[in-house]
Amino acid sequence: MAPLKATHERWNAWFDRPVLSERLILRQAQDERRVEGPVLSERLILRQAQDERRVEGLTTRDHPERAEGWAFRALCGLYVLFVSTSAIAHPVPFSYLDLRLQPDAIEGTLVAHIFDLAHDLNINAAERLLDPALALQQSAAIASLFDGRLTVRADGRTLTPQWSRAEVIADRQSLKLSVRYALAGRAGRLTVSAALFPYDPNHQTFLNIYDGDALTQAILDRGRTGFEYFAGTRQGALAVVRKFLPAGIHHILIGPDHLLFLVGLLLLGGSIRQLAVIVTSFTVAHSITLSLAALNLVSPPARIIEPAIALSIVYVGADNLLIRGGRDVRAWIAFAFGFIHGFGFANVLREMDLPARALGWSLFSFNVGVEIGQLLVVAVVATALAALRSRSETAGRQLAFAGSVVVMAAGTFWFIQRVFFPGGIS
């Protein structure tokens, strides 16, 4: 009956106290977090503190008549009789993982609450883990538990953890284990995947990565089990380039709308210099808006950008059909519509979770990749068109006409689809 009485007293205390403001929640959370190293950022602390308040049920501000009513408290007591006391008493569904990047290793600490550990180790009373002797005895089992749930990769290679013995942190009702991952050399890219306690859908792991004087923080939970970090070193910059340069090439080659816009500009042919100016104008323009959107300075909605990209394709095809000699303005067309296409590139780039510390390198690498992809397309298309025209000028003009009609038709289809059937035409 003692646990039941304690739980009942906690219910009464919850309903009697006033609602805490966010500022007080933040202050209380900061006082309670006596962790090694810098404290979590205010946003992370506030989110954690707010999550901790979710289990408290109704407040006196929301329903004062219920909070003060004995009938409602009696119902709460009946609920306690049918719910596991240990499940209600779970106070902190959080773990804390600190990783420090060293030249030859990654050193870290993992702090986990005894409730979660006891649950997965099948220990009846979680408080028993606060006994240093039992904690020491369970060290191997805890390490084995985390081996399958915590994965750290350096430059794509999975690292082998070396766990220490468990240490008791009595005032936080937690156990702490130190861990070391040996490295062959400095890591450029670090990938952390964690699902430490899958039985609890609300469990979160607060991740701190220390790289020299820099601290990067993240929250891993069921919706986001992995985090990618690029070191602030030469190896980190190279890792960014290796990831985002191929991504830029891949995107331009699989993006039919961007490709068709580019092909439409090339159908009329021209000298190598003319084609180079067209492609460069397009690259400069989309690089500007891509950077603005990636930095969240300008972010027009996709429902506007995607139809506008389709209209730019229609315009290029129509311009090819209507041109009657005169000055070649395709470079200006590429430059003007390149601003719109840049926002389309940005939508893809955002999905790649840009690294905050290597934002410049990631944008530069992605743009270079797009440029390389465009040059590959130009080389293939321009060579094929030049070969055809060298054999028959008439055939070249007929191909330009037919190709422009196809460009217009495709652009019109995409415009109708994106405006009237954004979910796709079934």
HSE-up of 155 (CA within 13 Å, CB side)? 15
Rounded-to-integer distance, Cα 339 and Cα 328, Å: 20
HSE-up of 217 (CA within 13 Å, CB side)? 12
Quote the pLDDT of residue 19. Answer: 39
Core vs surface per residue 263-281: b (16+ CB within 10 A) or e: bbbbbbbbeeebbebbbbb
Quote the pLDDT of residue 294. Answer: 82
Query: From its phi and psi, is residue 30 left (phi > 0), alpha (psi between -120 and 50) or beta?
Result: alpha
Q: What are 11-63's pLDDT values in tens digits? A: 344 334 343 343 433 444 444 443 344 444 444 444 444 444 333 333 333 44
Edge-first strand listing for the sheet containing 157-158: 157-158, 150-154, 189-194, 226-230
Contact predicate 116/204, CB 8 Å: no
Quote the pLDDT of residue 72. Answer: 39
Amino acid identity, position 28: Q
Q: With CA atoms as reference, report the closest residue to 328 among 372, 376, 377, 266.
A: 266
Quote the pLDDT of residue 317. Answer: 92
Q: What are 84-106's pLDDT values in tens digits? A: 444 444 556 899 999 999 989 99
Quote the pLDDT of residue 425. Answer: 56
Amino acid identity, position 3: P
pTM for the structure as a whole: 0.62
Contact predicate 267/320, CB 8 Å: yes
**Angle subtended at Cα 69 by Cα 66 and Cα 72, rounded to the nearest 5 degrees:** 70
Structure tokens at 163: 């766990």
Quote the pLDDT of residue 272. Answer: 82
Contacts for 3 with CB less than 8 Å, ≥ 6 apart: 85, 89
User: pLDDT tens digits for the chain (426 residues)?
Assistant: 444 444 444 434 433 434 334 343 344 444 444 334 444 444 444 444 444 433 333 333 344 443 444 443 444 444 444 444 444 445 568 999 999 999 899 999 999 999 999 999 999 989 999 999 999 999 999 999 999 899 999 998 999 999 999 999 999 999 999 999 999 888 888 999 999 999 999 999 999 999 988 898 999 999 899 999 988 778 888 888 888 899 888 888 888 888 899 999 988 888 888 888 898 899 899 999 988 988 888 889 888 999 999 999 999 999 988 876 667 889 999 999 999 999 988 877 777 777 777 778 888 898 889 889 888 888 888 888 888 888 888 888 888 899 999 999 999 999 999 998 876 554
Q: What single-letter DSSP state applies at residue 183?
A: -
Amino acid identity, position 174: S
